[in-house]
Amino acid sequence: MGRIILITGGARSGKSHFALQSGEKLSGSHCFIATCPAVDEEMAERIERHRKERSAQIWETIEEPLNIDEVLVEGTHEVYLVDCLTLWINNLLEQCAAKSIDCSESFLGTKAERIVRTVEMIDATVIFVTNEVGMGIVPGNALARRYRDLVGLCNRLVAGAASEVVLVSCGLPIYLKK
């Protein structure tokens, strides 16, 4: 049975760095699942900075914007780091819009629960990185509110199944569940 660790925090809080350090302390082969596509030059630069932070000797990188569960079930690694769920949800929203599918809470909940069930079936530790987006102001448009709500739902579902949940603030880990 797999083990879930959820690491959350605000933008630039240090959560990805903390996740890498945590993953590198675990034994076994390591796989980094990157959910962010390089949609513009600035994002490509961010991706490159993240890539340089992790050691190629330790981490195999798989870029997968949508089908995290498939990578996990087909993989052979003992440690996975998924960075990040918030971009995965963004990718789902874009895919739904392109296919005229309603990306409802039910739809997203089913997708998130499928990932959790997949982790339960494999023999690996999976570290998920996500943003805490619900602590700020209420967004001024419907799409931004839906995104915030979907991220909150996903975070709750994954945190509920996690053996460990860490909030990173100002680079400091605060253990919410251990």
Which residues are catalytic, by number? 50
Show contacts of 55-59: CB within 8 Å, 24+ apart.
55/24, 58/24, 58/30, 59/23, 59/30, 59/31, 59/32
The answer to whether residues 30 and 19 touch, using CB atoms and an 8 Å cutoff, is no
The two tokens of residue 132 are 């805490």
49 vs 83: CA distance, rounded Å: 13
**Contact yes or no for 139/148 (Cβ under 8 A):** yes
Helix-helix angle 41-53:15-24, to 10 degrees: 30
Strands (E), the chain: 3-9, 30-34, 59-63, 79-83, 125-131, 164-169, 172-177
The beta strand positions in 84-136, using DSSP E, are 125-131
